[in-house]
């Protein structure tokens, strides 16, 4: 079915008038956000101890595929917020580039490399760009050390680039001046800007360093998939579609899972009106208190402990599949809770935004059976109308796109935050451009939402599939196959 026309491009900016009500809203939202975080923290601690008593916090020993450990001399390592420090512990190094989007935002782009390798050999490596999820950053793909996806891809012979969305841990802009933390113009963006400006900027800057490559391989996690799906379905961005050889979505956040029905905090945010949402969370950075805490307390175990209990409480996941070392968990959480806009969070969570992720949520009864991903179902009580959203289930997203990027998607069987099965069903039943030749879905039945980037066994279960897919496309192997076929003929 042909897709309903939805504007995928960012809206034009409108002048912002600062009035006494805006300042009052800022004052009230600061305190209400603090209360929200406090209640969330207390709830997280209680939930964590309850799960511990039930035995649900025990690590899964089957996830440990080797005894090498996450880093060489791991016991002597310190908790630092410098990602390059962790690259150096692996015998590698990290370049940091500051790149500018067309709308003036400064993004941080990292490149993992071997300092002993010649520039000629490095140029031959095929580029991978890895894009993080919501509230995360480039460190999510490297913090696992020897067990990380970034290290695995580099070891397999690829040039690994790690992208960061606006605004990372430090808001930066080329033209907007003053205190950016309280500048409404600076925070006026959502997922459309991430797709329309940030991704093309990152792709172009990676390829500007790769004179022998015209395209790259793209990996996204969660929101990193959302913004890339949005980019790939936008016909105005055809130039960048052709710069992506293959796309590997990890736990793609296209459809919400049943967690949005089960967690009181998510229901609370989803059902707020536009005015109450802003009086609670403001118009600037979303829950900036948490990122401030990260920037000042990241070296303490208290920060990582509170991060874990809060997010596991909110999103119903645990670290059973991760390396059991709590020190490594600490490193993981150092590279989380980045600054994001409240406008972006309203797209994810608020029903008052017509195109929002929240408005794709199906009725609670649908998740108790297969109704939430059944293409034949017409029962209105079990299928909510999502035609106004960016990813309507029963409409093709790529009908106006001239270049189709092949995909291998990884979905988690224990991921209740996003609905991977609904996405797989959509791609199979409503995207005629995708067939068994250019689409594969890998279900990891025991993986939750963060396991796809932090699980101790992600290399053999995800990394190996990605590398084998890429090697099957390499020019050398294609030429070898053609030679064999010629000889047989």
8 A C-beta contact, residue 407 and residue 436: no
8 A C-beta contact, residue 332 and residue 79: no
pLDDT of residue 117: 97
| Nearest CA-CA partner of 99 in 111, 107, 87 | 107
pLDDT of residue 382: 85
Element (H, E) at 279: helix 274-281
Exposure of 460 by Cβ count < 10 A (0-12 exposed, 13-18 middle, 19+ buried)?
Answer: exposed
Whether residue 9 is contained in a domain is answered as no
Whether residue 57 is contained in a domain is answered as no
Structure tokens at 465: 């599939």
Would you call 449 a catalytic residue per the annotation?
yes
Residue with tokens 């939202």: 29
Whether residue 5 is contained in a domain is answered as no
CA separation, residue 53 to residues 47, 57, 58, 279 (Å): 10, 9, 10, 38
Low-confidence residues in the chain, pLDDT < 70: 1-4, 64-67, 474-489
Whether residue 28 is contained in a domain is answered as no
Domain count, the chain: 1
In DSSP notation, 4-53 reads P----SPPPP------HHHHHHHHHHHHHHHHHHHHHHHHHHHHHHHHHH
8 A C-beta contact, residue 450 and residue 400: no
Element (H, E) at 469: helix 464-471
As a whole number of angstroms, the distance between CA 72 and CA 146 comes to 9
Determine the structural domain holding residue 105 and report its residue range: 63-304+320-375+384-473
pLDDT of residue 4: 61
CA separation, residue 417 to residues 111, 210, 251 (Å): 30, 36, 9
pLDDT of residue 60: 80
Beta bridge partners of 96: 110
Whether residue 271 is contained in a domain is answered as yes
3-state secondary structure of 99: strand
CATH of the domain at 283: 3.40.50.1820
Structure tokens at 17: 């008038």
As a whole number of angstroms, the distance between CA 142 and CA 390 comes to 31
Structure tokens at 460: 């053999």
Characterize the bridge pairing of strands 244-250 and 216-221.
Answer: parallel
Residue with tokens 């800022």: 26
Whether residue 485 is contained in a domain is answered as no
Among residues 132, 449, 451, 457, which one is catalytic? 449
pLDDT of residue 475: 60
Contacts (Cβ under 8 Å, ≥6 apart) of 241: 231, 232, 401, 402, 403, 405
Would you call 402 a catalytic residue per the annotation?
no
As a whole number of angstroms, the distance between CA 249 and CA 246 comes to 10
Among residues 198, 386, 415, 419, which one is catalytic? 415
Q: What's the pTM value of the predicted model, to 2 decimals?
A: 0.94
3-state secondary structure of 442: strand
Whether residue 466 is contained in a domain is answered as yes
8 A C-beta contact, residue 359 and residue 347: no
| Nearest CA-CA partner of 139 in 332, 8, 325 | 332
What are the DSSP E strand ranges found in 293-381? none
Average pLDDT, the chain: 92
Among residues 29, 33, 148, 222, which one is catalytic? 222
Would you call 209 a catalytic residue per the annotation?
no
As a whole number of angstroms, the distance between CA 184 and CA 338 comes to 18
Whether residue 422 is contained in a domain is answered as yes
As a whole number of angstroms, the distance between CA 333 and CA 164 comes to 16
DSSP 194: I
């Amino acid at each position: 079915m042909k897709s309903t026309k939805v504007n995928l491009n960012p809206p034009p900016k409108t002048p912002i008038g600062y009035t006494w009500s805006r300042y009052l809203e800022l004052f009230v939202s600061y305190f209400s956000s603090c209360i929200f975080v406090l209640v969330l923290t207390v709830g997280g601690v209680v939930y964590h101890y309850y799960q511990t008593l039930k035995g649900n916090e025990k690590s899964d020993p089957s996830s440990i595929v080797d005894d090498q450990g996450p880093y060489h001399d791991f016991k002597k390592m310190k908790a630092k917020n410098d990602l390059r420090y962790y690259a150096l512990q692996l015998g590698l190094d990290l370049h940091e580039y500051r790149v500018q989007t067309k709308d003036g935002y400064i993004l941080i782009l990292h490149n993992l490399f071997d300092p002993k390798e010649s520039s000629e050999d490095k140029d031959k490596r095929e580029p991978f760009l890895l894009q993080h999820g919501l509230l995360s950053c480039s460190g999510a793909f490297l913090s696992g050390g020897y067990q990380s996806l970034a290290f695995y891809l580099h070891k397999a012979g690829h040039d690994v680039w790690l992208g960061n969305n606006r605004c990372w841990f430090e808001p930066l802009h080329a033209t907007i001046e003053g205190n950016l933390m309280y500048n409404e113009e600076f925070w006026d963006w959502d997922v459309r800007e991430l797709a329309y400006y940030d991704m093309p900027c990152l792709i172009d800057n990676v390829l500007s360093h790769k004179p022998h490559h015209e395209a790259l391989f793209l990996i996204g996690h969660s929101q990193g998939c959302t913004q890339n799906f949005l980019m790939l379905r936008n016909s105005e961005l055809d130039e960048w579609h052709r710069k992506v050889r293959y796309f590997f979505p990890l736990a793609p956040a296209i459809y919400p899972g049943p967690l949005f029905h089960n967690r009181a905090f998510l229901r609370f945010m989803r059902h707020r009106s536009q005015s109450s949402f802003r009086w609670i969370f403001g118009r600037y950075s979303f829950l900036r208190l948490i990122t401030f805490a990260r920037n000042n307390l990241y070296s303490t175990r208290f920060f990582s402990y509170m991060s874990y209990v809060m997010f596991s409480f909110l999103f119903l996941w645990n670290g059973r599949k991760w390396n059991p070392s709590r020190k490594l968990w600490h490193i993981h959480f150092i590279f989380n809770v980045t600054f994001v806009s409240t406008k972006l969070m309203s797209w994810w969570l608020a029903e008052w935004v017509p195109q929002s992720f929240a408005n794709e949520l199906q009725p609670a009864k649908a998740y108790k059976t297969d109704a939430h991903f059944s293409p034949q179902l017409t029962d209105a009580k079990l299928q909510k109308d999502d035609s106004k959203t960016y990813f309507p289930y029963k409409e093709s997203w790529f009908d106006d796109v001239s270049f189709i990027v092949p995909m291998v998607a990884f979905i988690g069987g224990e991921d209740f935050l996003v609905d991977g099965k609904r996405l797989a069903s959509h791609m199979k039943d409503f995207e005629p451009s995708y067939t068994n030749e250019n689409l594969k879905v890998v279900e990891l039945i025991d993986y939750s939402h963060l396991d796809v980037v932090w699980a101790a066994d992600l290399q053999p279960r995800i990394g190996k599939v990605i590398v084998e897919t890429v090697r099957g496309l390499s020019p050398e192997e294609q030429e070898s196959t053609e030679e064999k076929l010629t000889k047989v003929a």
